[in-house]
Amino acid sequence: MARVCRYLFPLLMVVAATKPESAAGAETYQLIGQIRMDEQEFSRRALPLVLLEGTKVPFAARTNADWSGKFKFKNLHPDLFTLIVYIPRAGEHRQTVEVSSGLADSKKRVHVEVSFRPNLASMNLRKVSSVQLSIPEKARKEFSKATQKLGKRDLEGAIAHLNKAVGIAPQFTDAWNTLGTLAYKMKEYALAESHFREALKHDPDYYPSMVNLGGVLLTMGKLQEALPLNTAAVVERPDDALAHAQLGLNYYHLGQLSEAEKYLKQAIALDPGHFSFPHLPLADIYFRREDFGSAALLYEQFLALHPDAPQSPSVLARLKTLRGTLRGRTRTK
């Protein structure tokens, strides 16, 4: 298990963070999944491990798919989730999944099909660094307890166990990174930055905290400081949608729209429903260029993917305006 631990702790950054809301009284849903592979079926000795991480509200859960690739998560509150599928000797695949009323059936089930495409880093299966190998079992148990607390939506309990873990093993980069993502979700950006920097102090090549530090600096408006980190993240993981989304947004806010377009388009290609909503800044770029047809198409795609997003009403209103503009252009030709 130690060999793959670097790939099993998903990135929880949301570039445009939303303040976590209380889940008390919220409706719950099931996520029903089916994993498909092109070349082989699953072995009973190598069943896929499936992890689910909330992006707005701190939450974590895991399960195993069965031999046919089916899996299920119950009692989920509405959120955008990062879904990670790890298959031994095959690698890891991740994508964004939305659970909301607009995407659920009459039985409050959201269905997702995962076309398993392992990312380059997980296929590489590099040796674990000496830093990771030095983590004592006692600290790992605290990390495991923190994950269990997140599954019960006990944020304070999770943070307490993570603090115990880094107290036992200050070099525990996974624990520092998780503390950073939780701080980020609570909009404690300076604290999140501190945690990510602490992880990188112990392992400068630790990718999760590299990309997450780029994200939190971007959120804090430190655009020039964020740019080299987000650029390095794309170089390090060219198939990571998060890295492309953050670099695209970095260039967008710097006013370098051609560069922004390139990376935002790639983020959408890698993960169409990505939780950073790359469709929206990309649509704005086309709107500024008066390419209203391309902007309208992106808005349509966004609404299909995220019907219950807070931005959806304003996106729908802008889409209606664009359609009127396009109809007017057609009549004048």
- Say whether pLDDT at 44 is over 80: no
* Residue that finishes a domain, picked among 71, 93, 124: 124
- Based on the fold, state whether residues 27 and 120 are members of the same structural domain: yes
**Do 36 and 45 form a contact (C-beta atoms < 8 A)?**
no
Q: Give the pLDDT score at 4.
A: 31
List residues bridging with 94 in a β-sheet: 84
- Based on the fold, state whether residues 281 and 256 are members of the same structural domain: no
- Based on the fold, state whether residues 257 and 282 are members of the same structural domain: no
* Residue that finishes a domain, picked among 235, 263, 291: 263
CA dihedral 248, 252, 256, 260 (to 10 degrees): 30
* Residue that finishes a domain, picked among 228, 263, 298: 263
**Do 196 and 12 form a contact (C-beta atoms < 8 A)?**
no
- Based on the fold, state whether residues 114 and 144 are members of the same structural domain: no
How large a percentage of the chain has pLDDT more than 70? 85
Assign residue 43 the CATH number of its domain: 2.60.40.10
**Does residue 163 lie in a domain region?**
yes
List residues bridging with 86 in a β-sheet: 49, 92
- Based on the fold, state whether residues 144 and 257 are members of the same structural domain: yes
How large a percentage of the chain has pLDDT more than 90? 75
pLDDT digits (tens, 9 = 90+) for 203-253: 999 999 999 999 999 999 999 999 999 999 999 999 999 999 999 999 999
- Based on the fold, state whether residues 172 and 82 are members of the same structural domain: no
**If pLDDT is split at 50, 70 and 90, which confidence band does 141 have?**
very high
**Does residue 239 lie in a domain region?**
yes
Torsional class of 115: left (φ above 0), alpha (ψ -120 to 50), beta (otherwise) = beta
- Based on the fold, state whether residues 115 and 146 are members of the same structural domain: no
Assign residue 202 the CATH number of its domain: 1.25.40.10
- Based on the fold, state whether residues 245 and 142 are members of the same structural domain: yes
**Average pLDDT over the chain, rounded to whole?**
88
**Does residue 130 lie in a domain region?**
no
Dist. CA 139–CA 3, nearest whole Å:
17
**Does residue 5 lie in a domain region?**
no
**Does residue 119 lie in a domain region?**
yes
Q: Give the pLDDT score at 9.
A: 34
**Does residue 1 lie in a domain region?**
no
Total domains in the fold of the chain: 3
**Does residue 131 lie in a domain region?**
no
**Does residue 2 lie in a domain region?**
no
- Based on the fold, state whether residues 163 and 72 are members of the same structural domain: no
Dist. CA 111–CA 105, nearest whole Å:
9
pLDDT digits (tens, 9 = 90+) for 240-298: 999 999 999 999 999 999 999 999 999 999 999 999 999 999 999 999 999 999 999 99
Domain enclosing residue 33, as ranges: 10-124
Q: Give the pLDDT score at 18.
A: 40
